[in-house]
Amino acid sequence: MDRLIQNTLIDLFADHGVALEPDEDWLLTEGEDYPAVRGIWHEGKEGGMGRLDIDIVLDEERTIEESFGGVGQGKIGCRDALDSFARNDFHVVLAACWHAINEKKLAVRELTAGTQRFTVFVGDFTLRGEKDAPMEIPEDGLSALEAAIATAPLTADVHWIRVFYGNVGDGKTQVEVLLDNEPWAAGHKAIASVEWPQHDRYYSLRNFIALVPAD
């Protein structure tokens, strides 16, 4: 499975002009220590959904840690999770960490948090769930989050935000917002305040954002 993950990541990055070199479990950039990326697959228990962990090391102290569920057993589930990474986080981390920006795949904005200016890379909201679940994203979905970012005490470093919204049904929802891998109360409040489409069946929306200090 490790070879499948490495080969898939190598091909994915190569398709966007970034050459990665294997170094044991890690993939390095042109022999440099950073940024480095690796993927680890965890098979689901008793036929349940497996999990792909993607780690992207920015420097000696900071690592982006993201996880993706994979539907299916073995290679099928692993490929499904890799596809989720490619559709959700990939173009954001490619821009923020490898400076390869594809504006067809993400939105690029400028934002101030405190006294610090950031270039913000915003990925698409990606949907998982029933095919007939609503896909229209409320206009205030990102604006509410941007307002929270503007008041966050961010340092002059790369920061990342992961948003998860789940429509469980019967008016029940799941919300998780992480800032630099940690639960972020202000972001959670912002996303929970949005009137997301309600549906009788389960669906989830996921979004990844990176903030890079502006020159």
pLDDT digits (tens, 9 = 90+) for 23-37: 999 999 987 889 999
Q: How far apart are CA 85 and CA 67, in angstroms?
A: 8
Alpha helices in 1-64 (DSSP H): 2-14
Tokens found for residue 133: 């679940």
Contacts of 207 (CB under 8 A, 6+ apart): 88, 122, 123, 124, 125, 126, 162, 163
Instruction: Read off the pLDDT band of 190 (50, 70, 90).
Output: very high
The model's pTM: 0.93
Q: How far apart are CA 79 and CA 81, in angstroms?
A: 5
- Regarding whether 181 and 112 lie in a shared domain, the answer is yes
Residue whose entry in the numeric block shows the structure tokens 């405190």: 114
Number of domains in the chain: 2
Is the residue at 154 inside a domain?
A: yes
pLDDT the model gives residue 46? 77
Query: In this model, does residue 47 exceed pLDDT 80?
Result: no
Containing structural domain, residue 44: 2-88
Q: Are 202 and 168 in contact (CB under 8 A)?
A: yes
- Regarding whether 139 and 79 lie in a shared domain, the answer is no
- Regarding whether 196 and 122 lie in a shared domain, the answer is yes
- Regarding whether 111 and 206 lie in a shared domain, the answer is yes
Instruction: Read off the pLDDT band of 1 (50, 70, 90).
Output: low
- Regarding whether 77 and 29 lie in a shared domain, the answer is yes
